[in-house]
Amino acid sequence: MKMHWLAVPFVTAALASAAPALAWEPTKPIEIVVPFSAGGASDQMARTIQGIIQKHQLTTQPIIVINKPAAGGAEGMLDIQKSAGDPHKLITTSSGIFMTPMATKLPLNWTDYTPVAMMAQDSFVLWVNAKSPHKTAGDFMEAAKKASPPLKIGGTSSKREDNLIVFAMEKQIGAKFAYIPYTSGGQASTQLSGGHVEANTNNPAEDLANWRGGATRPICVFADQPMVYRDKVTENASWADIPTCTSQGLNVSYQMLRGMFMPGKVTKDQQAFYVNMFKKVSETQEWKDYLARNALVGDYRDGEAFVSFLKADEEKHARLMSEAGFMAK
Amino acid sequence: MDDFSSLLAGFQIALSWHNIGFMALGVILGIVVGVLPGLGGPNGVAILLPLTFGMDPTSAIILLSSIYWGALFGGAITSILFNIPGEAWSVATTFDGYPMAIRGHAAEALTAAFTASFIGALSGVVLITFVAPLVASFALRFGPAEFFAVFLLTFCSFVGMGRDNRAKIITSLCIGFLLAAVGLDSISGDLRMTFGSTELMRGFDFLVVVIGLFGIGEILLTAEEGLVFKGKHAKIDLKVVLKTWASLPRYWLTLVRSCVVGMWMGVTPGGAIAASFMGYGLAKRFSKRGAHFGKGEIEGVLAPETAAHAAGTSALLPMLALGIPGSATAAVLLGGLLVWGLQPGPMLFVEQKDFVWGLIASMYLGNLAGLIIVLATVPLFAAVMRIPFSFVAPVILIVCAIGAYTISNSVFDIWVMLGFGILGYIFKKLDYPLAPLVLALVLGDRAEDAFRQALLGSAGSLDVFWANGLVSGLVIVALVLLLWGPITDAIAALGRRNESAKAAKAAE
Amino acid sequence: MSQPTNTTDEPRGLPRRSVEILVALTLIALAGVVLYDSHGRGAGWDGGPQNGFFPARVGWIFLAAAVFVLWQSFRTESGIFVTYGQLGQVARVLGPLVLFVALIGPLGLYVAAAIFIVAFMGVVGGSRWWSILLTAVIVPIACFWIFELQFRVPLPKGPLEAALGY
């Protein structure tokens, strides 16, 4: 890490040629494709992992993060699909790996890729402006039933996670919301703190800054269990203090996977190398700090456990998407 | 005055020897990155980011933000010399910068561009230093309707002024809007105008189109006139710098106007690109020499550069104060802040005073270092114009191809660039204006998104654009600017009628 | 730039009016495609504009403007758009450039760049053979060093790079 950046390629080249011992080792720089734009949650995860791998020297080759955000991440996914057999590419994924193909009818499917590891799950929280009169999910729902025009809820993208949650809320209470899609969770957070929407359904990390700054306030987390992080985040609250929406009579829970895939048609040895590498990443202190900072649910899975999770998750999304009418015709 | 002493402490941190070293290194790398269209600021910052994890956060952010300043300066170089905008916000710089270079005034144009960048950036930093909290809360008042009004204002200040063929202006504008609409529509989540092609799904990237229209198109035009560079007898010595500086005070009004436009657009995240077009448009409309714009007017270089840099710098303010990145580079810097355990947002100014003021101080110093370094390179870059066409042209074309490719790692984009190069050549010869196309391409889909977000919130009622003083004010100013030509004509006509009426009376 | 007054040696060339008409017709066709796509997806107002609303409106304006340009082109005086001599010059740049882009896919960018430089400088003329070869070798290597090694920007590579282990 302390090496001069100009020197890195030469030294790593020397190391690579000197150590051909293991079953398979990368021989070129490894690209991590992020199907979202720079600065977003997936991008931050990829860059954190990049930092951890380089700091702990988990591979001799450099790691490059490439953003391919176009068409709701389909650009990045198509790129990986085209690179079948290339063992020097990885892609970070979220639930988008199911939802983008469903919403756009693009010929993409996660079974064309090689699952490597699931790194974590991300929660969703119902946030309101700090000055909002609503204290509980019950208050908010009552207000939504009376509101005309409908209450505005901000989120990221259309026909994606946030949109699904809002749809599920509408179904629960039989009232309409005006869902406003923004390009990023950061924008949704700023718009909420400016009072342009009544609520948003951001991930914890996306609204953390405004919560600490006293501009927004969490109402409840869309999960069956409260979050586990007990360290104070603001002056008098921690992530664990946020009640679940279920406990407040709003029966919606949703979490999103964050994982790593490789292109299809790679060998078992190549897959094993990366599984091993990400397992080591997930055990480092830096990774645990990262999870805590972003209030992610630490849920590392690989091999069969990951595949069966994916299968169940895909079925769940297919059901939710068709109920909501988000499937492409 | 608490802030002022914090700033002084910040200068002490930033002025240590190793931080100055990082600053110079960052600026030079940034210039390299800015000159090569394949390596934008975000790229340079992203590549170096992991290497800074071991450094203390203040030094790291000084290094990285210096790359940002260097890239901002570097973008203007290729715009002026080869009509190829290295960055999206230097497109407006080509309108007068390149004609100046053709006429043999490359050195003056470069000096003007760099100095204007510095003035713009400085005004942005002053804004951040003294009114940060106030401005940050102002930015929060911008909802979708206000954003739409800002984009409308940009369009109106730029379009509707030309004496070119009106039908061709409209055609060009429409092409831009339609190109912007190709790809995923973020409001409905559906694909538009892709006709089943996965390449079109990505949409048309602004830089690919611009490199084609301006860069390749210009090389084809040059080739037509005999395979030599125009304006190769540029005079190159450092005296030009001083002479150009001496002429600058004359344009103080343009500079001030562009600073204000830029700061405003940077804070209200309209962005540097919109600011550069608006700065140029306003200067053209209100300058005494407005009719000469586009033929190599120094004011036409000063206006967009000042505005773009004032905006680019002010855009760091929302990032620090609110945690929303104002640009792609800012987004990568934001990622860096998080890695160092710094949480951008309202609390950063309270909890990480040293860091924030060190960064602000480095903005002053980094820009100064940047200005000195780029000015020193003016003769070097101007000398590039003396290399024979048959050597430089293939290199430029290769670098253009690399630039188009790296934007989304797609060979298809190189073909797109080539296609737009031919289109640019034909359009230029048929007197279709290219600027409206570019403006509509870069702002069209954002304006549409904001419009539709606003209507989603208001349940389809258009009243949302008259809902409060801010948004109606913006819409009114936009309409006044759009109709400025007819209004002044009408006033002049009225004046003449009075005159002639008086004259008639006097004659009686 | 296209001065019809410039009637010295080469007055023959493409007439401006034909090019103007051709471009206008192409634009009209494009407008038709846009309108077909937008109205196909829904260009109405359904509690706010549908996703085809704006493209369709812009498409109609586009169509009107293009038709107007077409009509104008019949009324204005036609000059020479480009003389055949000039067109030849443009083709000498465009030809190698198209070859370059076509070769990037199969050969990779660096080899294609070397071939492009040889072709371009050879066609344009005025350079000695050794300076052409030198440029053709140095420029791709310099690009490789900057992009691939220093900034780690992967560019398209072909069989030669694969043989060298990249």
Dump the DSSP string for A121-161: EEE-EEEEETT-S--SHHHHHHHHHH-SSPEEEEEESSSSH
CB distance A31–C154 less than 8 Å?
Answer: yes
- Amino acid found at A300: Y
Report the gap between the CA of B135 and the closest CA in chain C (Å): 32
CB atoms within 10 A of CB B404: 31
Report the gap between the CA of C42 and the closest CA in chain B (Å): 11
Per-residue pLDDT tens for A163-203?
A: 999 999 999 888 889 999 988 887 888 889 889 999 999 99
pLDDT along chain C (166 residues), means of 10: 47 86 94 91 77 89 93 85 88 93 93 93 82 91 84 82 81
Query: How much is the average pLDDT of A262-288?
Result: 93
Quote the pLDDT of residue C94.
92
3-state secondary structure of A67: strand
**Which of B408, B445, B461, B462 would best serve as a mutation to test chain A binding (most A beta carbons within 10 A)?**
B408
Q: A125-253, what's its fold?
A: D-Maltodextrin-Binding Protein; domain 2 (3.40.190)
Report the gap between the CA of A62 and the closest CA in chain C (Å): 9
DSSP A238: B
CB atoms within 10 A of CB A71: 25
Among C149, C150, C166, whose Cβ lies nearest the Cβ of A28? C166
Which of A49, A47, A106 lies closest to A72, judged by CA?
A106
All CATH 3.40.190.150 domain ranges of chain A, comma separated, are 27-122+256-324
CB distance A210–B188 less than 8 Å?
Answer: no
Which of A101, A34, C105, C157 lies closest to B413, judged by CA?
C105
CB distance B405–C155 less than 8 Å?
Answer: yes
From chain C, the residues in CB contact with B47 under 8 A are: 151-152
Quote the pLDDT of residue A7.
42
Quote the pLDDT of residue C111.
94
CB B121 within 8 A of CB B69: yes
From chain B, the residues in CB contact with C92 under 8 A are: 223, 227
3-state secondary structure of B49: helix
Report the gap between the CA of A174 and the closest CA in chain C (Å): 19
DSSP H helical segments within B327-387, as ranges? 328-339, 348-351, 353-383
User: Residues near B480 by Cβ (< 8 Å), separated by ≥ 6?
Assistant: B487
Per-residue pLDDT tens for B424-460?
A: 999 999 989 888 898 898 888 888 888 988 988 888 7
Q: Does A194 touch chain C (CB under 8 A)?
A: no
More confident residue, B194 or A271: A271
Q: Does A85 touch chain C (CB under 8 A)?
A: no
Query: How much is the average pLDDT of B370-397?
Result: 81
Query: How much is the average pLDDT of B6-21?
Result: 80
Among C152, C165, C166, whose Cβ lies nearest the Cβ of A62? C152
First CA to last CA distance, chain C: 46
Quote the pLDDT of residue A1.
35
Among B51, B347, B458, whose Cβ lies nearest the Cβ of A5? B51
More confident residue, B196 or B456: B456
Six-digit token pair at B502?
């008086």
Measured CA to CA, the distance from residue B209 to residue B150 in angstroms comes to: 24
Give the Å distances, CA to CA, from A249 to A133, A169, A217, A246, C28. 18, 11, 19, 5, 58
More confident residue, B148 or A329: B148
CA dihedral A154, A158, A162, A164 (to 10 degrees): 130
Confidence class for position A2, pLDDT limits 50, 70, 90: very low
Looking at B115-129, B142-156, B218-232, which range is the least confident one? Answer: B218-232
Residue with tokens 């999770």: A309
Six-digit token pair at A218?
């969490």
Looking at A210-224, B59-73, B301-315, B450-464, which range is the least confident one? Answer: B59-73
Give this complex's ipTM.
0.90
Query: How much is the average pLDDT of B237-262?
Result: 87
Q: A27-122+256-324, what's its fold?
A: D-Maltodextrin-Binding Protein; domain 2 (3.40.190)
3-state secondary structure of A221: strand
Q: How many domains does chain B have?
A: 1
More confident residue, A329 or B313: B313
Going by their DSSP bridges, the two strands A151-156 and A199-200 should be labelled as parallel
Per-residue pLDDT tens for B101-142?
A: 888 888 889 899 999 999 999 998 888 887 776 777 777 888
C contact chains, 3+ CB pairs < 8 A: A, B
Give the Å distances, CA to CA, from B411 to A78, A245, B76, C109. 14, 48, 26, 10
Measured CA to CA, the distance from residue B118 to residue B155 in angstroms comes to: 26
DSSP A219: E
CA dihedral A39, A43, A47, A48 (to 10 degrees): 100
pLDDT over threshold 90, residue A120? yes
Structural domain boundaries, residue B416:
2-467
CB distance B409–A71 less than 8 Å?
Answer: no
More confident residue, B92 or B74: B92
Quote the pLDDT of residue A13.
41
Measured CA to CA, the distance from residue B38 to residue C130 in angstroms comes to: 29
CB distance B201–A44 less than 8 Å?
Answer: no
CB distance B394–C1 less than 8 Å?
Answer: no
pLDDT over threshold 80, residue A231? yes
More confident residue, A243 or A4: A243
Measured CA to CA, the distance from residue A31 to residue A39 in angstroms comes to: 17
CB distance C155–B167 less than 8 Å?
Answer: no
pLDDT over threshold 80, residue B41? no
pLDDT over threshold 50, residue A3? no
Give the Å distances, CA to CA, from A248 to A143, A239, A245, C73. 15, 17, 5, 70
Six-digit token pair at C109?
């960018």
3-state secondary structure of B402: helix
Six-digit token pair at B481?
């600017």
Per-residue pLDDT tens for A203-229?
A: 998 888 888 888 899 999 999 999 999
3-state secondary structure of A88: coil
Quote the pLDDT of residue B506.
62
Confidence class for position B197, pLDDT limits 50, 70, 90: confident
Residue C14's Cβ-count burial label (10 Å; 0-12, 13-18, 19+) is middle
Strands ordered across the beta sheet of A297-302: A63-67, A30-34, A89-93, A255-262, A114-123, A297-302
Which of B350, A232, B4 lies closest to B342, judged by CA?
B350
∠B82-B393-C16 over CA atoms, to 5°? 75
Helix/strand/coil (H/E/C) assignment for every residue in A277-316: HHHHHHHCHHHHHHHHHHCCEEEEEEHHHHHHHHHHHHHH
Q: What is the residue-averaged pLDDT of chain B?
A: 81
* Residue B489 counted as domain residue: no
**Cβ-count burial C125-152 (b if 16+ within 10 Å, e if not):** eebeeeebeebbeebbeebbebbbebbb
Report the gap between the CA of B304 and the closest CA in chain C (Å): 25
CB B211 within 8 A of CB B88: no
Looking at A164-178, B1-15, B35-49, B259-273, which range is the least confident one? Answer: B35-49
Looking at B150-154, B179-183, C161-165, which range is the least confident one? Answer: C161-165
H-helix or E-strand spanning residue C102: helix C84-107
Six-digit token pair at B90?
């230097």
pLDDT over threshold 70, residue B37? no
